[in-house]
Amino acid sequence: MARNKVEICGVDTSKLPVLKNQEMRVLFGELQAGDLTAREKLVNGNLRLVLSVIQRFNNRGECVDDLFQVGCIGLMKAIDNFDLSQNVKFSTYAVPMIIGEIRRYLRDNNPIRVSRSLRDIAYKALQVRDQLTNRYSREPTILEISEALNVQKEDVVFALDAIQDPVSLFEPVYQDGGDPIFVMDQLSDDKTKDVQWLEEIALKEAMAKLNNREKMILSMRFFEGKTQMEVAEEIGISQAQVSRLEKAAIHQMNKFIN
């Protein structure tokens, strides 16, 4: 059976070579001796590694060709800086560099423009965070990062927030076979339409048709402004159950209101 042919940047991915570890070590030795053809063989022999990495970014809506090219830049940087004397597989060394190159590309091309100074603070903060994590064997606090950078902690928080990718309110965060829970379900906002709707109608007749647990959930969610996770923890059920009960209660009230 013929393999499916998929082309990225004019490259037939079904024909990409795969190098064995011993072949890679020989080529790295030749490259370090000044043989540039060995570098080309190393790049071609590791393009499948780039393909496997860019699959992690398929949901970003980015052009696959662009991500592939950026990933190849990360691959070449990894090849040029790989140290044969270190007892580590090349893929272990290369994957973080490829991912880092793609993430820098995505941040720099984010439709929400972030100033260069903010990006610089954010990137330095990420580097310091990794260094402090290795030193203390734990996640450092914002204060520790800000002191290491000699930057106000508020500026560190603002910079790190600025480079985060935007998330859709309708992105599912959990699903156990029933109704999915979306990002918006994790948020409490006194100005949402559901809150306004419940506060405006305030019909005792409709609420009276609900059982005590449904009344409690609606009260905590829409009058006290608690998230579904907070409600679930307080009454001792799962967040998925809170979501289903909340929707069922609103649907039940609608029957008596409309």
Extents of the domains making up the chain? 7-108, 116-162, 172-257
Q: What is the mean pLDDT of residues 145-170?
A: 76
**What is the three-state SS of 188-244?**
CCCCCHHHHHHHHHCCHHHHHCCCHHHHHHHHHHHHCCCCHHHHHHHHCCCHHHHHH
Q: What pLDDT, in 10s, does the model give residues 221-241?
A: 877 778 888 888 888 888 888
Integer Cα distance of 50 and 216 in angstroms: 51
* Model confidence, pTM: 0.43
Bigger pLDDT: 5 or 103? 103
> Same topology for domains 116-162 and 172-257, yes or no?
yes
Q: What pLDDT, in 10s, does the model give residues 6-35?
A: 455 555 656 677 788 788 888 888 888 888
Integer Cα distance of 240 and 143 in angstroms: 36
pLDDT exceeds cutoff 60 at 191: no
CATH architecture classification, 7-108: Up-down Bundle (1.20)
Q: Please state, rounded to an integer, the average pLDDT across all residues of the chain.
A: 76
Question: Taking the domain 172-257, which CATH number applies?
Answer: 1.10.10.10
Residue 177 — pLDDT band, cuts 50, 70, 90?
low
Rg (CA), the chain: 26
pLDDT exceeds cutoff 80 at 169: no
CA contacts within 13 A on the Cβ side of 80: 9
Q: Options 1.25.40.80, 1.10.645.10, 1.10.10.10, 3.30.70.360; which CATH number does 116-162 get?
A: 1.10.10.10
